[in-house]
Amino acid sequence: MNERITKSIKADSLRALKKLINIPSVNTSNGNERSFPPFGKGIDSALKETLNICDKLGMDTFYDPEGFYGYADYGDGEETLGILCHLDVVPEGDKEKWDSDPFTATERDGAVYGRGTQDDKGPTIAALYGLKALIDAEETFSRKVRFIFGTDEETLWRCMKMYKAHETMPDLGFVPDGTFPLTYAEKALLQVTLTGPGAAKMEVHCGESPNVVPDTAEYSDGQVDQLSGVFDQMDVPYTVEDNRIIVHGKSVHASQAQDGKNAIALLAKGLVGFQPHPAVSFIGEKIGVETNGFTLFGEVRDDISGELTLNVGKLEINDNYSEVVLDIRIPVTHDKQRIETALKEAVELYGLEYKEFDYLPSLHVPVESDLVQTLLDLYKDKTGDDSEPMTTGGATYARAMPNMVAFGAHFPGQESLAHQENEHITLDDFYTSMDIYSEAIFRLACVN
Can you give the pLDDT at residue 155? 85
Binned at pLDDT 50, 70 and 90, residue 31 comes out as low
Pick the more confident residue, 276 or 133: 133
Mean pLDDT of the chain: 93
Q: Which of 360, 394, 412 is the C-terminal boundary of a domain? A: 360
Q: Give yes or no: residues 318 and 375 share one domain.
A: no
Q: Give yes or no: residues 130 and 194 share one domain.
A: no
Binned at pLDDT 50, 70 and 90, residue 222 comes out as low
Write out pLDDT tens, residues 271-301.
Answer: 887 778 999 999 999 999 999 999 999 999 9
Pick the closest to residue 148 from 38, 45, 73 (CA basis).
73
Q: Give yes or no: residues 328 and 243 share one domain.
A: yes
Q: Is residue 2 part of a domain?
A: no
CATH of the domain at 222: 3.30.70.360
Q: In the predicted model, is pLDDT for residue 448 greater than 80?
A: no
For the chain, first and last CA: distance in Å?
A: 24
Q: Is the dihedral of CA 50, 132, 5, 148 positive or negative?
A: positive
Q: Give yes or no: residues 133 and 24 share one domain.
A: yes
Q: Give yes or no: residues 259 and 309 share one domain.
A: yes
Q: Is residue 1 part of a domain?
A: no
- Specify whether 435 is catalytic: no
Q: Which of 331, 360, 389 is the C-terminal boundary of a domain? A: 360
- Specify whether 167 is catalytic: no
Q: Give yes or no: residues 392 and 438 share one domain.
A: yes
Can you give the pLDDT at residue 394? 80
Q: Give yes or no: residues 215 and 83 share one domain.
A: no
Binned at pLDDT 50, 70 and 90, residue 227 comes out as confident
Can you give the pLDDT at residue 276? 81
Write out pLDDT tens, residues 327-359.
Answer: 999 999 999 999 999 999 999 999 999 999 989
Q: Which of 317, 336, 360 is the C-terminal boundary of a domain? A: 360
Residue type, 82: G
Q: Give yes or no: residues 179 and 251 share one domain.
A: no
Q: Is residue 219 part of a domain?
A: yes
Active-site residue among 120, 153, 323, 429?
Answer: 153
Can you give the pLDDT at residue 1? 62
Q: Is residue 206 part of a domain?
A: yes
Ranking 161-175, 270-284, 316-330 by mean pLDDT, the lowest is 270-284
Active-site residue among 33, 44, 64, 88?
Answer: 88
Q: Give yes or no: residues 319 and 399 share one domain.
A: no
Pick the closest to residue 387 from 365, 363, 414 (CA basis).
414
The answer, as to whether pTM is greater than 0.85, is no
CATH of the domain at 151: 3.40.630.10
Q: In the predicted model, is pLDDT for residue 388 greater than 90?
A: yes
Write out pLDDT tens, residues 43-95.
Answer: 999 999 999 999 999 999 999 999 999 999 999 999 999 999 999 999 998 89
Whether omega for the bond prior to residue 181 falls within 30 degrees of 0, making it cis, is yes
Q: Which domain holds residue 297?
A: 188-360
Q: Give yes or no: residues 90 and 138 share one domain.
A: yes
Q: Give yes or no: residues 370 and 306 share one domain.
A: no
Q: Give yes or no: residues 240 and 371 share one domain.
A: no
Question: In a 3-state reduction of DSSP, which class is residue 197?
Answer: strand
Q: Is residue 331 part of a domain?
A: yes
Buried b (16+ CB within 10 A) or exposed e, 20-47: bbbbbbbbebeeebeeebbbbebbbbbb
